[in-house]
Structures are given as structure tokens and as C-alpha cells.
Copies of this chain bind each other. A is one copy, B any other.
């Protein structure tokens, strides 16, 4: 089976396979990604595990079926306690430096399983098997991590996977809010990279519940390619990787304000993107399709302008605490036009004004 994409990281290149039903070929693909591995251990989200773990396991010959452990679903699993438990499991499994961890689930699973792989024996290979639309984004690029109570993703490592096995069939069981959560990142990738891709999305994706087959596969490939193009140029986020943060400065603050788990990531990012578009118009006089984008996102079911329900001063404090902040300055990714992101320090007064004032509809 040929890979759909090949991604280059500083330490190695890795394949991304995207194909309906591909989970049934996991064993074969793991061997392709890490030819000389000694052992496989699976860390699986408990919900996904119930539905699909048998498909993964039965791709291996009966005598070499890997063991697995289930991770409670949800952001709470990205804890120090759970991390320590996973390291203990790796030890008990007797994993060595040539063993492979499979991260089977959404972003939470990928993050903590990836961080476990990044730090077990100072780093062993891992392979992502994403099971959500949102994880098309997080499975590529090498960010892994866990949460500190009150500070999301505050602990982590850059540790690119050795492969990504993406079977869109498993997305069918996702609830609508999970589709929206992931799709916000697809729209973000279009906004920061490519007007034709944005137009294609607006024309071809009008109901997320109908997204499947070739169209879904194409969309995933395209969206992952945008992410890959950026991280290949700047893996460790010293420069342009920050563009991927478009919509996320306010988005993260909204998530944090609501309390983690109350808003989906994509729901918060959608409001964050609209806000960044407004800020781009205000600061750069950029010609951006704000109304068109608003209508499109609203038609897909996104709630927008969530910042109107929050205290502006509090949101600004939260933005200052963001990892991307250095020396207390709030940097925003803005757009000069669709496909042309820039990084700009935002004045607090401007932010306050935009956060508090009515939105032109």
C-alpha cells in the first residue's frame, strides 16, 4: 500500500496513509514504518477501543498480537498520573528502544501516548492511528504533551511519529460536534494557505454529516499537506509554525475561560478565527471575506462570537498566559489576505475594543 503523503521531520521522514478500511492492515503498515521493531504496544482511547480494537489486533498474526491499554476518554486523561501509569505499562511490557507504541484514538490519545513514546528511554518510535477528524491535525507535526492542572499542554516534547495510519471509516461514528471541532482546523488550513482550497470547501462541504469517501479523503490529504508544509519549514515553532495558531490565541482563551471540556476545541477556534479576521481588517485593512465566512461557518452549525459571552479583561489575561506569549506580549496571527498570514503584536486597547464592541453582521 502506497502512502498518501510523506512528511519530513528534522530526524526522519514518515508516511501518512489515508484509506477507508486501512485499519485492517495495521500490522503490515507498522512493519513498513519501523521495519526492525521488536514489539508493539497499543495505547487506545476507551471509546474507540470498544469499537475498533479488534480490527487492529486481528491484523496481526495470532502469535504476535500486541497488548494494549485503554485510556479514559477526555482531556482529563492527559495527566501526570496517567503518564506515569503508561510509562509503568511500557516497562512491564518490556518495551525496548526499538519497540513501537501505537496511539489509537483522538488528539488526547495521540498527545499522551506520543509524550510517553517521546520520553520512555529518551524516545522510542510511535505511530498515530487517529480516530477523529480533529486528530488529522494533531497527528502530524510532532507535538506531544500532557496538561498541568489549569495549564493545558504545558508539558511536552517534539517527537514526530514514525507513521500515521488514517482510516476515515472510523470517523463515521463521530457525533456532529466532533465533526465541527475537527473541521475548524481544515478551514484554518485553507485560510492561512490557499484561497482556491477555501473556495472548494465552501462549495463542496455544506453538510459535515455527508462528508465521506473520496471527497473526505481528498480534504484530509489537502489539509494535512498544508500542516506538513508549515512544520517541515519550522518544526520547533521558532517562526512560521506560529501561523498554525491562526484563530487559536483567542480560541485557547475561550476554551480556558469556559473550563476545559465545556467547548470543543474547534468551536472555540471558529470564534477565534472570525475574531482574527476582524482584527486583520482593523489592523491591516485586509480585504477578507468576513461575512461569507461567518455565514458558511454558521450554516455548518458553529456558534460564533463566543467572546461576547465572556469578560474581555479575563480573556486578555488568559491570552497573556499562553505558551506562545513571551515577555507578556500578545502576538496574533493575522491575514493580509486569504493565504497570507503574518505575525503581529496586538495592542491591548485594540483587543479590548474589538472584544467588547458589537460585531458588524
Residues of B within 8 A of A327 (CB): 38, 96, 98
- The answer to whether A52 has its CB under 8 Å from any CB of chain B is no
Quick one: closest B residue to A99, CB to CB?
B326
Residues on A close to B: CB < 8 A?
10-11, 38, 80, 84, 87-88, 91, 96-98, 115, 118-123, 143, 145, 148, 151, 154-158, 236, 323-327
Q: Select one of B97, B118, B325 contacting A96, CB under 8 A.
A: B325
| Residues A80 and B84 in contact, CB atoms below 8 Å apart | yes
> A39 → chain B, closest Cβ, in Å?
9
Are the C-beta atoms of A154 and B87 separated by less than 8 Å? yes
Given A80-B80, A87-B148, A148-B91, answer yes or no on A122-B156 (Cβ-Cβ < 8 Å).
yes
Oligomer: number of copies: 2
A148 surroundings in chain B (CB, below 8 A): 87-88, 91
Which of A11, A119, A326 has the most B CB atoms < 10 Å from its CB? A119
Q: Are B120 and A155 in contact (CB under 8 A)?
A: yes
Please tell me if the beta carbons of B122 and A145 are within 8 angstroms of each other in the complex: yes
> Which residue, of A10, A155, A325, has the highest number of chain B Cβ atoms within 10 A?
A155
A317 smallest CB distance to B (angstroms):
12
A147 → chain B closest CB, angstroms: 11
Contact A87–B155 (Cβ < 8 Å): yes
Whether A154 and B123, one on each chain, are in contact in the complex, defined by CB atoms closer than 8 angstroms, is no
Give 4 nearest A-B pairs by CB, closest first: A122-B156, A98-B326, A96-B326, A80-B84
Contact status B119-A326, CB under 8 Å: no
Can you name the residue of chain B whose Cβ is closest to the Cβ of A155?
B119
